[in-house]
Structures are given as structure tokens and as C-alpha cells.
Structure 1
């Protein structure tokens, strides 16, 4: 019996050494692609200690060297082949920072190896890709999360608390979400990012995908995962000289039984923004940016009482995508079904975006079954 116990303990120790399953250790993470400039986020997050970057896949050596110089990592971490990195390094999770079209390829490689995945928003370029990714995640029992910048805004969660938990403004009647900036070329994104961000295949669309997805993600959370009855959208190309292959202006209208939503994703805002307005039967919430929020309660015809809030950052691990990823994989926290990062929420996001693109193309309202 004693020999058996010693053997089992030795086996457990070997598993820990090989696969990093000790929950006291940083999560071993691989980075897939460096062409999405949000990748700076994970390099900035690593010093927190929740994750350790153990491998990077990037065939463009010049691009990899630029990141290595900026973030002070060894080029020994960089592989040109996804399969080679996964087999040699054996990360516990990977984060996708390439094109949206490549998200499916990442899951196809990682899931059968039992490796968890976090992708940058949105989950996929189409419902066909998303469905395949979901099936793989379920078959191999991996976590498949999607990261949005607005998930980490304290105002996003305070607005939800006021509306859903405290019921201060009454039943939701209208939500308006505005996201975007002057356009990728105008704000000076690097060439590697611009090449695929303005490509309808690699990005899945234009502004309606790049920025419309934020609003759809938040709406799906606020509406507890309920699918809208219909989707109506318009899109337009206002900067053909900068975005010749895709639209750069979009408005998506969602109709629910008792509420409507207006989602404006644009590359034509003169000033970059990520904000929303939530209107109830007795008041309104204005999440003006990451930290500033206003609550107004109606008085008479056009009067109101206003409370202005300046919010601090949320507590770990709810203030950082990669800390959250580690906590989910370590089973320290469990995501609710339609949480902002959850697979259920982001499957619905892709379904609605597909309907929005179809509506804009056909100039018809799309009714969801």
C-alpha cells in the first residue's frame, strides 16, 4: 500500500511538472498571432503573476522581433507553426491575437489537446465558424472565452447592478450603445493589423463587426440571453479611400418584446468612444466611459435627480481578461451562462451580427426564429 501511495504521489508530481496543473503556479499560456495590436494587453498583464507566457506563434519574424524588443522577451519563445508550439510547449491555454477568421483554426488545434482558448472579440466571423468552435469546445471539455475591452469597464458592471439588481430605473425600455473611433487608418494602426481589419473575409465585415459586436455582447448580457425578435441594420462606406473593401458605418436595431436597442458601431466618430445609455420606465443610466457614470431619476415632465459617480477599477480577477481566464481554468470562479465572456453569450453575438449583415445587404428586417 505504501509503495502504491508513493507511486501515485510521484505521478501527480510528474503531471504537475509537465502540464503545470498546480493551482499555486501561474497559468501557462501560449499566444497565437501578433497581428492584433490588443496583444500588448497580455504582455502588460503577465507581470501580475496570474499567467506565464510560454510560447508565441508568429510566422512574421520581423513583427515578432519588434514585439520582443518592446516587451523584452526572448525570440526562443517564438514558433512559426501552431502545432509545433502546442506540442513542444504544452500550454494550459492559448490566446488568439490573429485574424477573426483564424479563430476556428486555433480551436481546431487546441481543443483536441485539451487546451483552453480565449479569443479577441468577436468569437467568430460567422455562425458556421462559431458552431464548429462550440462543438469542439463541448466535445473536448475546454473553456472557450471571448475578450472585449468593455468587459473590464467598472461602469459596465455598475450599470448592470443599478438596472438588474437594484431596479432603480424600472423596466428597461431602450438601450443605446456607441462604439468606435475615426477609423483604423486614421488612428494609425500598424500595417499588419490594418491589412486584415479592413478585409471582409479575415475580419468578417467592417465597422459592424469591429465595433457593433461590443453593443450586441452587452445587450445579450442585459437581456439574460434572450434573442431579439428581429434585427434591422444599415451600413455605409463613408471613407472609400481608407476602407475600400468594407463598410465603416453601421446602425443595428434590435427589437425585443418590451424593449428596443440601438447599436452604433462606427469608424467615423470624430472622437473615439465606448459608452451607452440605458432608459427605464422611471430613470436612465449613462455610462459615459470606463470610470464615469450618471444615474438620473425622473421628476415631472423633463426634470430629474442626478447622481454622478467616479468608479474605481474592479478587484482582481475581474479587472483583467487573463487573470479571469486563469481563475476560470483553476475553477476559482464560474461564469454565469450569459456572462460577457461566456460561450453562450458570444454564440448569440455572432448570430445577431450575421443577421445584421444580411439585413444591411438585403435592406430588409431579419426575423429570428
Structure 2
């Protein structure tokens, strides 16, 4: 009897300990501060899902500047990933350095069983992406990619209307437009600008910086299918600001019964992240994060119109770092076609690789023979 009670007590303590661990904030290391999207994680920490236990940034002046802005202690800042590992025990890390450095982050933390979230795109080139995927699978870690548009309620409502409610019929064309006036024109900080406009560190210019958004969304909407072929053109319309990389890109994706059009630009007069989905019966417009329109065709050029203004998605689907915590704590299972998934983002890299080759060679690149 006493032995049975002792076993029950141990089991209760284990269950209680696991439940307590699930409710505690995820211990996160921030790797790099040169990507200005890093401000996002400092704002998100206040929600309580994550706790930043260390920051890797060799540029002490940059780290000090952000410490004054966000109120963290410089005691959290380490000069290298090895130094961070020697002094802390993160459960996950987030990469906010150059895209080229994403591979090194995964090489360092995956063998330790530490999960990784990188800012979009997954890698600077397809070879790096495949190396990262191999490491993630070998060491059984989550490797997630964060896009701003993943958290837009309009994109998810568009998916529901298209896939589950069949509002506009079978998909025939998807157009995704992303970008702004250009990094220099919008005034990104110098530490970000230096690698964002470097063809090696960023993998390209607008074609990678904003082309990845369209590739990510179209792959999701096309259920992870690989395009039959990719055709792309790039231009450099601001050589004085972007001397080493393209700043204008158009990518065409050919599927069996649909086409995808990605317009990625550092030459828009306004910032934009919008999408149009054309079906046999109508069109869905995701104009921004909150405004959605649906037009159902009537006759030759008439239509019935509905407009929606959407609220933020519910936690943890509203924020990348709340999502990361839920994934690591096994509260959410990432599906292969999810926007953040490794599978989706390997396809994104295959599309971008083909697009870059297409633009350079001035020819269509076939992906499916």
C-alpha cells in the first residue's frame, strides 16, 4: 500500500513539474541585433510567453543603443554564441543577424538540441537551406522561419474562404506584392543596410528580401506543390542606393492549372504587403493585415462585393515568439505546409534559387521534368 502511494506521489510530482514547465516563459537567446526586426522580440517579451536570457552581439555600441531603447541590462549581452552557451541554457534562439549567418546559428545550436527561429528567408541560398534542414532533422529540433505576413488575419481568412468555404472556386491566379521605397530611402540603420544590400550576406536584393514573402504564401495556398517552372526578371532602378544588388523583381510561377505572380520591389512609392487570389467565380483581396475584400463575379464586369475588417488573431497565433514558445512546449504541432514550417521554406528557397538563375540566364527554369 505504502509503495503504491509512493509511486503515485512520484507520478504526481512529475506531472505537476511538466505542467509548471509548460506555463513558464520559454528561455530564449537572441542571436544578433543587426536586423531591425529584432525590435519585435523585445516588444513581445512583455506578453510573458518568452524570457530573453542572453543576447549575442559583438557590436557593443549597437547593443548599448538598443539597451537604452528597450531597457535590458548589458549583462545579458555576449560577444559570441559560444560565450552565450557557456553562461546560459536557452531552450530556443532567434536569429537577427544577416541571412548568410543563419547557417552558423543552426550549426551551433542544433547539436545542443536547441530550437531555432530565423527571420525570413530561411537562408541566403538553397545550398545553405539544405544544410540547415539536414542539421535540424538530424538533431530533431524545430527550425522555423518568421514572416510578418504569417500573423496577418487577412491571409488566414483568405485561406479559409478559398480552401474551406470555396467562395471563389478553383484557384487560377495568385498575385503577391511586397516592398517599399528601398532600405536607404526608408532610413534603415547602417548596421542593417550594410548586409541587406550585399549579394552574399542577403543572397540578393529585393528578389530575396521581398520575393520570399510571395513564395511563402503561394506555396501555402498551393498546398506545398512545387511549381512546374519559374521565370523571373530583375532590374536595378536605384544604382546609387543599391549598387551591388537588384531592387526590382518579378517572378512568375507556373503550376498545372494556376499561375503565381510575385512582385518584389524596393521601388514602390508606398510600403505594401498585399495579395490577390483569383478563382473561377471571383477574387479575394487581402489588402493589408486587417482589410479583406471579396468580389463574386456577376455577368461580364459586374460583381457582388463584401468587405471585412479583421481583429488580431488569437494567441498564440498572433505573434511569432508566442508561437515559438507554444511549438517548443508541444502545445502546437507544426504541419508540413504551415507558413513557418521547414518544408514550406525549403520550397521557398528552391523557388528563389530558380528565380535568381532565371533572371541571370534570361530563361525559364523548369523545376518539374
For normalisation by structure 1, the TM-score amounts to 0.96
Aligned partners of 1:350, 1:29: CA distance in 2, in Å? 26
- Which residue pairs with 1:227 in the alignment? 226
Aligned partners of 2:86, 2:9: CA distance in 1, in Å? 26
Aligned partners of 1:37, 1:6: CA distance in 2, in Å? 51
SS in 2 for 1:364: coil
Q: CA deviation at 1:84?
A: 1.5
- Which residue pairs with 2:361 in the alignment? 362
* Structure 1: gaps of 5 or more residues: none
Q: List per-residue Cα deviations over 1:287-328 (Å, max 9, x = no partner).
A: 111100100000000000000110110000000000000001
SS in 2 for 1:214: helix
SS in 1 for 2:22: coil
SS in 2 for 1:22: helix
SS in 1 for 2:253: strand
Aligned partners of 1:39, 1:309: CA distance in 2, in Å? 31
Q: List per-residue Cα deviations over 1:52-103 (Å, max 9, x = no partner).
A: 0000000000000001000000000000010110232010000000000000
Following TM superposition, where does structure 1 have runs of at least 4 consecutive aligned residues deviating by more than 6 angstroms?
A: 4-9
- Which residue pairs with 1:61 in the alignment? 60
For normalisation by structure 2, the TM-score amounts to 0.96
Between Structure 1 and Structure 2, how many residues are aligned? Answer: 365
* Structure 2: gaps of 5 or more residues: none
Aligned partners of 2:156, 2:8: CA distance in 1, in Å? 48
- Which residue pairs with 1:208 in the alignment? 207
- Which residue pairs with 2:25 in the alignment? 26
Q: CA deviation at 1:351?
A: 0.6
Q: List per-residue Cα deviations over 1:161-211 (Å, max 9, x = no partner).
A: 100111010000001000000000000000000000000000000000000
RMSD: 2.0
- Which residue pairs with 1:272 in the alignment? 271
- Which residue pairs with 2:196 in the alignment? 197
Aligned partners of 1:169, 1:209: CA distance in 2, in Å? 30
**What does residue range 226-305 of structure 1 map to in structure 2 within 5 Å?**
226-305=225-304
Aligned partners of 2:210, 2:114: CA distance in 1, in Å? 28
Q: CA deviation at 1:333?
A: 1.0
- Which residue pairs with 2:98 in the alignment? 99
